[in-house]
Copies of this chain bind each other. A is one copy, B any other.
């Protein structure tokens, strides 16, 4: 099987490396000629080009570009392909990608491998990036089962644990555990620095330690990524944010009214439940 990979950054490059080592013929596409050369020189791919046409002879293509480029890339790509080619992506939202992509190309299957490091680009490529990472595959009702199996098999071969869900359920789940945390974490930093009493802010900066550090980490991360989450998963993120805010109002009320046993029950529950998210 010949596999095409578009986008040779951390995700696409690492996937290409693993698949090449597994014996597949991997053909890479990058907008940057220099990236193509590095990918070839380091045996990450068998061949690479800046031109999508190089993928005309492949059987399966992974679009590993940033979310905003997935649909435009697909549109430019399909004119070079025979209709049997299966195409998938690695985008972190699915509801705003999969239905439109499937309309453009009926052999499209959405997937989202949840792997990564803090680094970007071909220099960040590493082998076994996907080992033990969850990967969600999000077929529609009309997605051919054999295409799902092809995509699933490849993700399993690079070590992913596979979960199946609808694009909507995927987007709701990642809103809760990935996109909402970014917003509440950013709002923590933002609220601290915007507080009008500078003496308090200065002392707070000096006293902040591991608790603040961990709670603020994802909110102090890549702004483009946070913005993209909000843009591409707007509806589900808003639902989570509003539920979160309603629950925060209850906590504020409990503290105001000194309903200590209710607050204690909540804190006991959160202590018990957190490990269930970290299996």
Contacts and interface: CB of A to CB of B under 8 A. Distances in A.
Interface of A: 114, 134, 136, 161, 163, 165, 169-170, 172-174, 176-178, 180-195, 197, 199-201, 203-209, 211-223, 226-227, 230-231, 234, 237-238, 240-245, 247-249, 251-252, 255-256, 258, 260, 263-264, 266-271, 273-279
Contact of A189 (B199, B214, B263, B274): B274
A136 B202 CA distance: 13
A163 B267 contact: no
Interface of A is mostly: helix
Contacts of A190: 247, 266, 269-270, 273
Contacts of A267: 186, 223, 226-227
Contacts of A136: 203, 207
A220 B255 contact: no
Given A247-B194, A252-B242, A221 B271 contact: yes
18 contacts: A134-B209, A163-B206, A169-B199, A170-B203, A172-B204, A177-B211, A183-B248, A189-B277, A190-B273, A191-B240, A195-B243, A215-B218, A220-B275, A223-B264, A227-B260, A227-B264, A238-B252, A241-B252
Given A163-B203, A255-B234, A276-B205, A188 B181 contact: yes
B183 A251 contact: yes
A277 B216 contact: yes
A204 B176 contact: yes
A244 B21 CA distance: 49
Contacts of A216: 181, 270, 274, 277
A189 B268 CA distance: 11
Nearest to A237: B255
Contact of A255 (B185, B201, B238): B238
Given A136-B203, A177-B208, A195-B176, A220 B187 contact: no
Contact of A169 (B180, B185, B200, B217): B200
Given A214-B217, A271-B223, A204 B252 contact: no
